[in-house]
Structure 1
């Protein structure tokens, strides 16, 4: 790996118009007053950094369910999956990963399988770290059926600043573990609903990396992970 690869990451194409707009405004600000131009330069760099799309070392061991987003594990609790996915009324373990405006916002498939449903629902733009954001906020939910027939749900949730959920995956698509399926602009949350009986392998407050951090192990009688803050 080159030293520059540590700091310069590829940018997702969704960010091109935004970075171009920031750069254009920055040029105008330089013409008005140089200090304003430098502020604009900083914001342009931040915009580019927001839309970064780095490569990830995705584990390919069978049964590993990985994080769909970069961020902090903000909630682990039982909850009923979105009704529009048709996964039933029973509560399942939900793992929430909260993304700040400084996290990478490209979303990745938690596990390999076929997308059986994609359901968008408009809503509010409450702080995505709140529990009620799962019910009240704008969201886009996917159901993914694994090879053994079990399904998991992954839900993109808009946040206080986010105003656009992007999902380019359609029902019937076959996803690989860690494959990119969408993104959210600017600051939001991803929820993953585990199959019945599957225990989480992350802890509250843990930093998750999309496509790399293992949230759960499917198909093994693995106890829930225990952790301490040290």
Structure 2
């Protein structure tokens, strides 16, 4: 099992602390507790390889989790047009590494402070802390991926910067300890392939079919 480097302090810290304290206090329960905490963190920060479908017109899921929102909105921060918003809720058992939904370029990324409401609630997207990734597909189609902090998650971690080129399914960031990721794509030609409640996998599950645009 591969562990993302962001999780290494959480993985080794509890085990080491439990071993030291348990040794000096002769309490095996502290040793075992530290080891169990380390194993739990190792599971949370696991980072398996993912393989996207070979279809450039598919927009794939940026996150593991459950579909909690599918709606048409006016996206004004980057797309500046009518768009589909698809929300994916990640619980603490899901892989929390987020991935690029298409092959393209990171046009812009920015952070927006906010609250820490439960991420599966509708108001969470509007009120919670967020990190945005504005992406342009190779054909010029704009997409917006938004990491939304939740009740337990207090930190979003970006792995890419403005101007970086990314491949579909490439790691772009993660959220620590349960949260939500939303994706916006122009509504005009999009065909949504998922329904509410569907379980999806980051880097593998198709969310939307969006025809390739001729330049």
TM-score (norm: length of structure 2): 0.91
Match status 1:92 vs 2:83: yes
Q: Answer yes or no: is the 8 Å Cα contact 2:82–2:186 preserved in 1.
A: no
Structure 1 residue ranges without an equivalent (≥5): 1-8, 221-230
Residue 43 of structure 1, aligned match among 30, 37, 40: 37
Partner of 2:195: 203
Q: Secondary structure at the match of 1:41?
A: helix
Q: For 1:45 and 1:20, how far apart are their aligned partners in 2?
A: 9
TM-score (norm: length of structure 1): 0.86
Structure 2 residue ranges without an equivalent (≥5): none
Aligned counterparts, 1:9-48, within 5 A: 9-28=1-20, 30-31=22-23, 32=25, 33-48=27-42
How big is the shift at 1:196?
2.0
Residue 71 of structure 2, aligned match among 77, 93, 111: 77
How big is the shift at 1:35?
2.5
How big is the shift at 1:173?
1.1
* Cα deviation 1:67-125 (Å, max 9, x = unaligned): 101111111112343x4x4322x442111110011111000001111111111111111
Match status 1:191 vs 2:182: yes
* Cα deviation 1:22-44 (Å, max 9, x = unaligned): 11222145344223332332221
Q: Which runs of 4+ in 1 moved over 4 A?
A: none
CA RMSD of aligned residues (A): 1.5
Q: For 1:204 and 1:26, how far apart are their aligned partners in 2?
A: 42
Q: For 1:77 and 1:205, how far apart are their aligned partners in 2?
A: 14
Aligned residues: 209
Q: Secondary structure at the match of 1:212?
A: coil
- CA 1:78–1:29 in 2, change beyond 3 Å: closer, same or farther? farther
